[in-house]
Structure 1
Amino acid sequence: MRDGAPDEVLAGSPVWWARVTSWLGGQILAAQIPIQSGRVTAKADREVIEELSLTVPRFAAPAPGDDAFDWRPGGDARHPLARFGQQLDVSIVVESVVTSQVWETRIGRYQVKSWDDDDEGTISVKAESLLARPRDDKMLTLVSPVGSLMTEARRLAPAGMGVSFDSALVDRPCPPAMSWSKNRLENLQEIANAWPALLRVDSWGQIRYRAPLPEIPNPVIRLKDGEGGTLISAPRADSRVGVPNVVVASTGNTSGADVQGVAALTSGPMSINGDYGVVTKEWSSSLLETEAQAEAAARNMLEAGSRPAQSVPVRLAPDPRVEIDDPISVARGDDPPLWGWVTAWDLPLTADGGDMRIDVGVSG
């Protein structure tokens, strides 16, 4: 959960707006981009997790009193919205209408992917989180590990991209006999799966390895409807597509002894002993050298796969504090509250942009 305005302010129709700045090579190109509309979306199982879309007027002054500026990049490689490495910083500013107190919540940093002039006076911009960098920056040769999970994660990251680790993660050596693929992002994800850990991107656009989520959520955000609440709706949905109840993790290293770990749901409606049947997911990695490592990886994948088995798509008043993996409770009327984790969110960047939408994955 990010820092930001408290629940009572967000529930009281505050004044709020997005601050979007443009950077290139550590230099600021625009301190404020005037946006007509925009959204930031995130999904835990998406390759680069977060994406940004903006609609900007073709001609507008960056700040009151300034001359009008042409926001169409054209062929200018240093234009604030060009796609030559420009990065957009996004923050949400919230002001209480009662006390005039102001909170600023940093959302993230995004690399411009494309822009489009619709010939109707607006420019549309698409951008991605900085996990696009290791996805695009393929290695030219195959290399083998020379250190631990932490040192290899840092070594595989693109130049200038930081990597941080949850203090609960315990480092261990990588087997030197294996080779990394040429896809940096696939390698970084393999490290996360084998550790096990969660590969994420922080609000500064840097790589972050988080510890696996606990079995039972301890909500840091409690959504409710009615007076003083920000919850608008929370319909229910359910699907077994892509939801295993057995995960088999094994070594991909043919030079050593076979190692395998199995995790299975043996109770509840998805039990392998019930009418749900058996749905198996297999995964292998040369980073797994012991049964304990394989079992931990299998268990983490099983929990991550079964968590969104029951999906609750929630609509609420925009709350910039919400982020992926937040433990959350959702209470509707007199129904017992649902507990789970945020698996996706969709945040409008303008006050008239509509509601925020999040997906809450629960295990029961």
Structure 2
Amino acid sequence: MVEKLHKRSDIDRRVAAGEAVKEQPRQTIRDRMTGQIISNERVAEKLPSYLIAMQSNTLIYNDIDVEAFQREVRQQVSRILDAIKDERFENASIQYQQFIDHYDTCFETPSEYELRESKLRGTDLYAVLEHHGKRLTAEMGIKQRDEESERRFNAVTEAHINLFFYMLTLNLALDNKIDSVQKQLRLKLGLLEERLRGLLREYIYADQIGRIEYGNIDGSLTLYGWVLLQQNELDTAWTIYSHDQSLKDKTSFSALHNEVMSIYHKKRYSTETPQELRDSAFLRRGLSDDRVRIALKLCYYLDQTAQIREYLDELTQDADNKETNNATVDVKTLLLARNQ
């Protein structure tokens, strides 16, 4: 059975009219360890923290934050277009602009034909962004990266994540489904996540020429060493560790911390200063604050893709089959009536 949803905006209007009482305001709550916002407050240009949620036994569709995010996407289009405007990107910037414009237009007076046309454009855009994303991921390697490749990589990745959100909305508006029969959204989301994780691994473990040594690498020689020994940023190390799944599966964060700090407990400590010990560990590793900054950006993008997956879970909550494409709540009706 598909459950009925209520829009947050409708509830807010009732509060403003005095027909309902707002008992508790939303407020920002941050995790002490990661610094991440864990309440339902939005961060600018970041995906809404939920699509639907149970509030006082009423299922709420978060239309206010969704529409705020879509406004921000429209505002950032020019920045993305500027980053991918040269001939190497062929017509990618034009296709992205056309998709966003067509999406906005088709929801003004939604029809099945226009929604399917918008979805078709989005399907084509999947392939375009994946193609350029692969190339830019290679250019973001430790040895090749420069400021321009980083700017372009960020633009294409952000456009890619935005596209997943828009395609999910189109799937819901058309058939109240989260994905196609071929599970296209899930598969393509997985491809993006795989690329991001692979690049993050390089930024954590590679040496100055982008080579990752076979076998276990002492933590002090990796980006964790730079973050903990040079920057003394425990929260940053935790954020990166929390996205380093292969390490998480075999080592606790406390064990990693102890391993990195163990350079101060080696025998030669009596003859070398702490700075000399650090310099020795970092020799020919190519570690830097820039690598930390980029690693954190990759973690942010992985958080965004994880948010998309959370939407899929929200929309199929209580479904007998967790791989279902059918939403268990009626989002379609609200999407098609949102401008009425």
Q: Same fold (TM over 0.5)?
A: no
Could you state the TM-score of these two structures normalised by the residue count of structure 2?
A: 0.25
